[in-house]
Amino acid sequence: MSQAALELTGSSARAHSSPPRAAQRSASPYVAAWWYDWLFFLAPPLLGLLLGGVIGALDIAHERFWLDGRRVTYVGLGIGALVNAHLVAVLFRSHGSPGIFKRHPIRFVVVPPLLVVIIASSAPVMLVTTVVIVFWDAYHSALQTFGFARMYDRRAGNDPALGRRLDLGLNLLLYLGPIVAGASMLAHFEKLVELEELGITFLASVPTFLHAEQRAIGWIIAAAGATFVGCYLVAYARLARRGYRVSWPKVFLLSTTGLCSIVTWGFNPWGLAFLMMNFFHAVQYLALVWWSEGARVRDRLRLGRLAAVAFIVFVFAYGAWADLVTPDEPYFWAIVQTVALLHFWYDGFIWSVTKRDV
């Protein structure tokens, strides 16, 4: 294997001579508990596929009714509320964590209202924001699964840096590859067309180019993806011979996530694909937030077991409200857009802060 391939394992030159540094092995291979992990972290990708298949076959997926002046579906409302609920849940990790909140007051106190005012006051900024959210969301989703993979490797007793770049590359491939090469490509990239209003013609022409060349791009992504997966497996086989411990929950998670992404983005219409992928991503995130912040929420609210109910009611109340907001309500729309942006930003840097603390 080339030096470049070895560097992808995150162990650089030491891969040639010394075994990987092992972290302390946990008594359990799971992050929370075996039942919690399987129910909320590991099973959701397959459950998302199953849910999409069932809903796609039922008439309820197509039944529309009037709500707040719009024609909507029960399924659309449900998944919209779930998506927005998981977005606002990041506040429990940022504003609800005293240690992190005190270290970054400007990010948590000044930036949110400033963003709301800027987005609501400028139509060009609002347009650019909606485009940024579409693509940041795909990247963020890939990094969530990447984060789970790293946690499972650590629970198995592996060096947290070992295979980091390999796992990052694999997750980006599993999420972004099917989007660019699959049936939902136009649904993701059509937002760029709106940038023509701002004179950004180069980006506005990207969807047309991708649509015209999608078959060739698909073959290129398939070939590059197969090559990367082969290198990934070979690299981890080499690491296993040098002491790397295989985390089977991680293997299961990456395999099922990849299957769900390929089937969903590659072969399903936009609405159904959005439902399946966002269902499992949101369930995983809500469960992650409650696992990491639940004890603090219980202590603050002093509601005991009812604290979980209060958490769910709060995030879903916001989620239902946010799903009904339209761009015709600029300040409300700006709040919804700001929450989405802060979810991606806060969650990414909170992972980094936690990693440094550990």
Separation CA 96–CA 293 (nearest Å): 8
**Percentage of the chain exceeding pLDDT 90:** 53
Q: How large is the average pLDDT for residues 318-331?
A: 93
> Is the model's pLDDT at 24 over the cut of 70?
no
Q: What pLDDT score does 19 carry? A: 44
Least confident of 107-111, 168-172, 207-211, 258-262: 207-211
For residue 79 the two structure tokens come to 């998944």
State the pLDDT confidence band at 354, using cuts at 50, 70 and 90: low
On the question of pLDDT at 358 being above 50, the answer is no
Is the pLDDT assigned to residue 129 strictly greater than 80? yes
Angle at CA 303, nearest 5°, toward 297 and 306? Answer: 90
Question: Is 7 a residue whose pLDDT tops 80?
Answer: no
Contact status, residue 41 vs residue 287, Cβ threshold 8 Å: yes
User: 93-107, 233-247, 286-300, 323-337 — which is least confidently predicted?
Assistant: 93-107
Higher pLDDT, 239 or 205: 239
pLDDT for 8 equals: 35
Contact 155, 147 (CB under 8 A): no
Report yes or no on whether pTM surpasses 0.85: yes
Mean pLDDT of 338-352: 86
231-243: average pLDDT: 94
Residues 325-330, mean pLDDT to the nearest whole number: 91
pLDDT reading at 355 higher than 60 = no
Predicted confidence band of residue 13 (pLDDT cuts 50, 70, 90): very low
Kindly give the interhelix angle for 330-357 and 111-121, rounded to the nearest 10 degrees.
150
Q: How many residues can be counted in the chain?
A: 358
Q: What is the spatial distance between Cα 48 and Cα 278, in angstroms, rounded to a whole number?
A: 8
Confidence of residue 4 (pLDDT cuts 50, 70, 90): very low
- Tell me the pLDDT of the chain averaged across its residues: 86
At 90, which amino acid appears?
V
The average pLDDT across 196-209 equals 83
**CB under 8 A, 24+ apart: contacts of 226-234:** 228/169, 228/170, 228/173, 229/170, 229/173, 231/1, 231/5, 231/8, 232/166, 232/169, 232/170, 234/1, 234/5
Residue 348 in this model has a pLDDT that exceeds 70:
yes
Output the pLDDT for position 353: 56
Gap between the Cα atoms of 277 and 267, Å rounded:
13
What is the pLDDT averaged over residues 86-99? 88
Calculate the CA dihedral of residues 236, 170, 253, 176 and round it to 10 degrees.
Answer: -170
- Contact 294/307 with Cβ under 8 angstroms? yes
CA 12 remoteness from chain centre: 28
Q: With a cut of 70, say whether residue 5 has pLDDT above it.
A: no
Confidence grade of residue 201 (pLDDT, cut at 50, 70, 90): confident
C-alpha distances out from residue 179 to 161, 176, 227, 273, Å: 28, 5, 18, 10
For the chain, the C-alpha Rg in angstroms (whole number) is: 21
Q: Are 84 and 335 in contact (CB under 8 A)?
A: no
Which range has the worst mean pLDDT, 52-66, 72-86, 94-108, 211-225?
A: 52-66
Query: What residue type is 69 in one-letter code?
Result: G
User: What confidence tier does 6 reach under pLDDT thresholds 50, 70, 90?
Assistant: very low
Q: What is the pLDDT of residue 45?
A: 95
More confident residue, 248 or 214: 248
Predicted pLDDT of residue 14: 37
Strand partners, 72: 65
Cβ atoms within 10 A of the Cβ of 354, count? Answer: 14
- Place 271 in a pLDDT band, splitting at 50, 70 and 90: confident
